[in-house]
Amino acid sequence: MMNIKEAKNEIIHTLAAYLKKDENGNYTYPLVRQRPILLIGPPGIGKTAVMEQIAQECKVGLVAYTITHHTRQSAVGLPKIVSRDYDGIQVDITEYTMSEIIASVYDCMERTGKKEGILFIDEINCVSETLAPAMLQFLQNKTFGTHKVPKGWIIVAAGNPPAYNKSVREFDIVTLDRVRKISIQAEPDVWLEYARKRSIHGAILSYLSMKKENFYVVENTVDGKFFVTARGWEDLSEILKSYEELQVEISEELVEEFLQKEEIARDFASYYQLYEKYKTDYHLPEILEETASRKQYELSCNMAKAASFEERFTVTELLLEVVENQITVFEKWDKKTETLHENLRQLKAFLQGKDSIDGMGEFIFSRRKALKAKLDSELLTFGEGMLEEEQIRILEGYFQTLKEWHIRDTIDGYDRICVMFAKVCAERRELLEKTKKMLENAFIFMETCFGKGQELLLFETELTADDQAGTFISSYGCTHYFQNCDLLLYQKQEKELQKECRAILEDEN
């Protein structure tokens, strides 16, 4: 039994093994031994999302299908009559057109230029009776109808256990002996790690950090179906953010649309209201930015000191949210500055030998044309595409400014651009200092309110677990963070002692 993160790593390793080539460019792993991976796990735990992450990280193509939406004809192909000559006798026989699914693989290869990838088939054990034989043939022989999956593409299929779906079909031993079956279970800690990277709403992160038992629930009773899934939490996060921007009230009924178990929906809706109230009452952004009055600072500290466990925990999570959001703001500006510096270096090389700065227009046109080609070929993620679009708009702004200043000389024009870029660098430095100061202030506030208790340990632990925060601290330092690293060491030693005690007790029993 694996969690979704372990399954992801296993697929990445499989991809590397199956696609390994010799010095002549030939695949070294025998095709006949390339067993498809079969993921079996409860619905809504992120199987499809993981496939997208793997394809992006490994830079391979991805074709994903939910097979229950297909008929036998779309999966296998349509029959057609063709003539064949057998020993001088013309015979009409039935052949099949190419499967829509196989054709989609070739379309992906042509569109993206990626000759290797993953063919992902979801809900494979919930197909109709007419399609079931084709699915068994697919897993056993890597074919749909008479057409094989292209070389360089590995097969990953997914399905739900019978407990979650009455239409599940059990695979026979012959089929199971030709796949690599991985059973997946929902683990809240793994999802929370993923959720922080995806900027899931802070109220959800805080709530599930305290009440992990409410992360995933699926019940199929005589009274109906009741479920709360990872997909539900992630979709709820998006609607919460959107409604907050629109200043629309968040109701319990809205939460129930995503968390379809009344007790959990009601509990989270109540917690969300407290989370928002604490956010207002404590004035944490102002405290970290040092814009809060001394009176407000003391009031917030006194509230925290007298608070219940749940409120103290929530305040810690709110503080983390403010700090992590600020680090994200800096990292985006830092990436923008670094990328712009590289683009200006390329622009300088492009303008060498040009008679006037008007050549900058050609450079911008070529960049926009290249961006369109990459987007059409799906070679960029949404975030990468947005960054490149922002860079082009900055260059267009610089070029427009030069024209307004009536500057045409190449050297003079580039020097003026460097002056404008220097302002971007200065803003980066200011943002860096602000972020470092806010991080130090967060530790000071925590220590003032809670001393070196479990709240500070939680704060330190979650900062360490956050990749972006960890990178920032390792790059730019944080005195209070390193002063409190001993808390993490004590926690690790405590866990090791608990593990040894459990082992001794098990031996005695």
Side-chain half-sphere exposure of 59, counting CA atoms within 13 A: 3
The per-residue pLDDT for 96 is 56
Report residue 394 as tokens: 């900055």
Q: Which alpha helices (DSSP H) does 307-409 contain, by range?
A: 309-351, 359-376, 382-404
Among residues 421, 406, 401, the alpha carbon closest in space to that of 347 is found at: 421
What is the residue whose two structure tokens read 């003032």?
A: 448
Q: What is the pLDDT along the chain (509 residues), one digit of tens a residue?
A: 888 889 999 999 999 999 999 999 899 998 888 899 999 888 778 888 889 899 989 999 998 887 765 555 555 666 667 777 777 787 766 555 557 788 888 988 988 889 999 999 888 777 666 677 777 778 878 887 778 888 999 999 888 877 666 666 777 787 788 889 999 888 888 888 888 888 899 999 999 999 999 999 988 777 788 899 988 999 999 999 999 999 999 999 999 999 999 999 999 999 999 999 999 999 999 999 999 999 999 999 999 999 999 999 999 999 999 999 999 999 999 999 999 999 999 999 999 988 899 999 999 999 999 999 888 877 788 888 999 999 999 999 999 999 999 999 999 999 999 999 999 999 999 999 999 999 999 999 999 999 988 888 889 888 888 888 989 999 999 999 988 876 555 454 445 545 555 555 556 55
Show which of 170, 185, 200 is a domain's final residue. Answer: 185
Distances in Å between the Cα of 186 and the Cα atoms of 20, 40, 47, 156 are 31, 11, 11, 19
The per-residue pLDDT for 76 is 61
Show which of 161, 185, 209 is a domain's final residue. Answer: 185
d(CA 445, CA 442): 5
The per-residue pLDDT for 170 is 76
> Contacts by 15-19 with C-beta closer than 8 Å and gap 24+?
15/54, 15/58, 15/60, 15/118, 15/154, 16/58, 18/154, 19/60, 19/116, 19/152, 19/154
Q: Is position 169 within any domain?
A: yes
What is the residue whose two structure tokens read 């200065």?
A: 426
Angle at 196 between CA 52 and CA 325, to 5 degrees: 120
Q: Is position 440 within any domain?
A: yes
Q: Is position 306 within any domain?
A: no
| Burial track 168-206 (b if 16+ CB lie within 10 A, e otherwise) | bbebeeebeebbebbebebbbebbbebbbeeebbbbbbb
Q: Is position 509 within any domain?
A: yes
Report residue 316 as tokens: 């810690």
The per-residue pLDDT for 95 is 59
d(CA 438, CA 318): 14
Q: Is position 384 within any domain?
A: yes
d(CA 20, CA 14): 10
Among residues 487, 469, 468, the alpha carbon closest in space to that of 478 is found at: 469
| Residues 314 and 274: beta-carbon distance below 8 Å | yes
Q: Is position 289 within any domain?
A: no
The per-residue pLDDT for 278 is 95
d(CA 457, CA 461): 6
β strands within 101-152, DSSP E: 117-122, 143-144, 147-148
Q: How many domains does the chain have?
A: 2
Among residues 506, 338, 305, the alpha carbon closest in space to that of 424 is found at: 338
Q: Is position 311 within any domain?
A: no
Among residues 251, 242, 215, the alpha carbon closest in space to that of 231 is found at: 215
111: domain CATH number? 3.40.50.300
Show which of 185, 218, 240 is a domain's final residue. Answer: 185
Q: Is position 94 within any domain?
A: no
Please give the residue range of the domain that contains residue 149.
4-75+104-185
